[in-house]
Chain A
Amino acid sequence: MVDDTAQLYTIEGVAAGFLMILTAYFIISSSTVITPQETHIADLQLEQLGSDALRVMDTPTENGTPGYLALCLSNYDPISFSDNITRLINTKTDSGTDRLHYNTTIFYRDGAAIGNATFGGDIYYRENAVKVSRLVTVDHFPPGAGIPNRKQVVLVEVLVWRS
Chain B
Amino acid sequence: MLGRRVENHEDGQLSIDFVIGFTIFMIAFIFVATMISGLLISLQSKSIDYDAVAYRTGVVLTEDPGEPFNWHLLDLSTFKARNETLKRLGLGISRNVPGILQESKVEKFFSPDCGDSTKLCYPTDYSQRLIFGDYPYRFNITLRELDETRYWAIGDEPPDKYGYIRRVVMIKRPGIALINTTNATSNELIIHMLLQNLYQPPEGLPKENPAYIVDPIRENLNISLRNFTIPLTSMTNLELYKYINPPSSPTPINIPVDSPTIRIYVDGNLKTLPALVTNDTSIIIEEGYFPRETINEFSDVEVHITFDKPVSDETYLGIENVAENPPLSRAVMEIKVW
Residues of A within 8 A of B (CB): 3-14, 16-18, 20-21, 24, 28, 33, 35, 37, 41, 44-45, 48-49, 52-53, 55-56, 59-63, 87-89, 91-94, 98
Contact = CB atoms under 8 A, between A and B. Distances in A.
B327 A61 contact: yes
Nearest to B4: A5
A6 B21 CA distance: 10
A37 B21 contact: no
Contacts of B52: 37
A10 B17 contact: yes
B142 A93 contact: yes
Contacts of A87: 146
Which 8 A-B residue pairings sit nearest by Cβ, starting from the closest? Answer: A13-B21, A17-B28, A6-B17, A9-B21, A63-B212, A5-B3, A61-B327, A93-B142
B166 interface: yes
Q: How large is the interface on B (under 10, 10 to 19, 20 to 34, 35 or more residues)?
A: 35 or more
A56 B330 CA distance: 7
Given A6-B15, A56-B170, A62-B212, 9 more contacts: A3-B1, A12-B21, A24-B36, A37-B48, A48-B165, A56-B168, A61-B327, A63-B325, A93-B143
Nearest to B327: A61
A6 B2 CA distance: 8
Contacts of B25: 12-13, 16-17
A9 B28 contact: no
A48 B330 contact: no
Given A9-B17, A14-B21, A35 B48 contact: yes
Contacts of A44: 51, 55
16 contacts: A9-B22, A10-B20, A10-B24, A11-B21, A12-B25, A24-B32, A45-B164, A48-B55, A48-B165, A53-B168, A59-B99, A59-B211, A89-B168, A91-B144, A94-B142, A94-B334
Contacts of B325: 62-63
Interface in B177-222: 208-209, 211-212
Contact of B169 (A14, A33, A52): A52
Contacts of A52: 62, 99, 167-169
B209 A6 contact: no
Contacts of B42: 28, 33
A88 B168 contact: yes
B168 A92 contact: no
B68 to A, nearest CB: 25
A25 to B, nearest CB: 9
Contacts of B17: 5-10
Contacts of B212: 62-63
Nearest to A54: B168
Contact of B167 (A3, A14, A28, A48): A48
B310 interface: no
Given A37-B51, A49-B167, A63-B209, A24 B35 contact: yes
A61 B173 CA distance: 11
B79 interface: no
B273 interface: no
B28 A21 contact: yes
Contact of A17 (B24, B170, B328): B24
Contacts of B4: 5
Nearest to B43: A33
Contacts of A35: 48
A92 B334 contact: yes
Interface in B1-53: 1-4, 15-25, 27-29, 31-32, 35-36, 39, 42-43, 45, 48, 51-52
Contacts of A61: 170, 327-329
A93 B332 contact: yes
A6 B3 contact: yes
A6 B19 CA distance: 10
Interface centre among B31, B51, B62, B166 (most CB of A within 10 A): B166
Contacts of A11: 21
A56 B99 contact: yes
A92 B151 CA distance: 12
Contacts of B27: 17
A141 B277 CA distance: 53
Interface in B144-166: 144, 146, 151, 153, 164-166
B24 to A, nearest CB: 4
B333 A93 contact: yes
A6 to B, nearest CB: 3
Contact of B29 (A17, A45, A48, A91): A17
